[in-house]
């Protein structure tokens, strides 16, 4: 059996893919990402949050066997855990991988479960960044649900985005609007996260997520009152990165 040809550098592959598929829609981008050898071994990462079901549905229509990585920080809402099970069953996803923090690391760094109160970045690193880094290690690319409308740090993201020299992020919904998301959910009769109806348009860990009032930014309830906007699930040159470095690296 012939050996697979080595992949070109990440930035080169991302630029090539964007050039080829720049004018395609979300479904076409996903189909190409799952079949184009320049993308490589692919997984999807999903929080099973307020809007996650749209991309999960798109993926399931094309290939239900694509690995879906779900990070259970062990601080999620019980509603999120149940929603994850319900959506995976409804969509027929066959390879959902539940990713949890390392037991020894949690015992050493957050044995009382209070780290989020005084060091939220360290808590995200322990419970999200490191577990995902380990889970993504075998993959050349991963599918994300990031969109340009979600903020200035995401305003320029492309369909295919280099993550340092490690792997490619595939952002099929980069150009979708909030109305596009809602319309797709209605038209396809997709189940909504139960907390959305309770005023949670953006859902993370229970201790760090609060309800949002009318007129507030949808992400206002994430880390409310703290100088923090992102969970930090990024890897540049093998290291977790927090804050804007270059364009389009916020998750």
Range list of β-strands (E), the chain: 42-45, 68-71, 96-99, 141-143, 160-163, 167-170, 235-236, 239-240
Sign (positive/negative) of CA torsion 54, 87, 199, 113? Answer: negative
| 3-state SS class at 98 | strand
Cα separation, 20 vs 36, whole angstroms: 11
Judge whether 231 counts as a catalytic residue. Answer: yes
The residue from 123, 124, 208, 231 that is catalytic is 231
CB 250 within 8 A of CB 244: yes
Instruction: Give the residue among 163, 160, 174 at the shortest CA–CA distance from 15.
Output: 160
User: How many beta carbons lie within 10 A of that of residue 4, not counting itself?
Assistant: 9
Instruction: Give the residue among 23, 39, 44, 36 at the shortest CA–CA distance from 174.
Output: 23
Provide the annotated active-site residues: 231
């Amino acid at each position: 059996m012939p050996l697979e040809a080595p992949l070109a550098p990440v930035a080169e592959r991302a630029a090539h893919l964007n050039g080829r598929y720049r004018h395609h829609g979300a479904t076409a981008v996903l189909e190409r990402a799952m079949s184009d050898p320049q993308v490589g071994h692919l997984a999807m990462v999903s929080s099973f949050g307020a809007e996650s079901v749209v991309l999960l549905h798109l993926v399931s229509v094309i290939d239900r066997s694509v690995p879906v990585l779900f990070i259970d920080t062990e601080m999620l809402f019980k509603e999120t855990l149940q929603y994850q099970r319900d959506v995976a069953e409804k969509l027929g996803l066959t390879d959902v991988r539940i990713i949890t923090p390392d037991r020894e690391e949690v015992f050493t760094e957050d044995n009382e479960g209070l780290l989020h109160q005084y060091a939220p970045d360290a808590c995200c690193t322990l419970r999200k960044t490191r577990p995902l880094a380990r889970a993504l290690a075998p993959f050349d690319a991963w599918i994300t649900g990031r969109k340009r409308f979600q903020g200035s740090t995401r305003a320029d993201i492309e369909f295919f985005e280099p993550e340092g020299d490690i792997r490619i992020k595939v952002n099929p919904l980069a150009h979708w609007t909030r109305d596009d998301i809602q319309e797709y959910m209605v038209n396809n009769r997709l189940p909504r996260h139960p907390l959305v109806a309770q005023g949670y348009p953006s859902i993370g860990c229970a201790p760090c997520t609060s309800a949002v009032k009318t007129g507030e930014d949808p992400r206002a309830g994430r880390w409310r009152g703290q100088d923090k906007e992102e969970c930090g699930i990024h890897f540049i040159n093998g290291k977790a990165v927090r804050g804007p470095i270059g364009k389009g690296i916020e998750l």
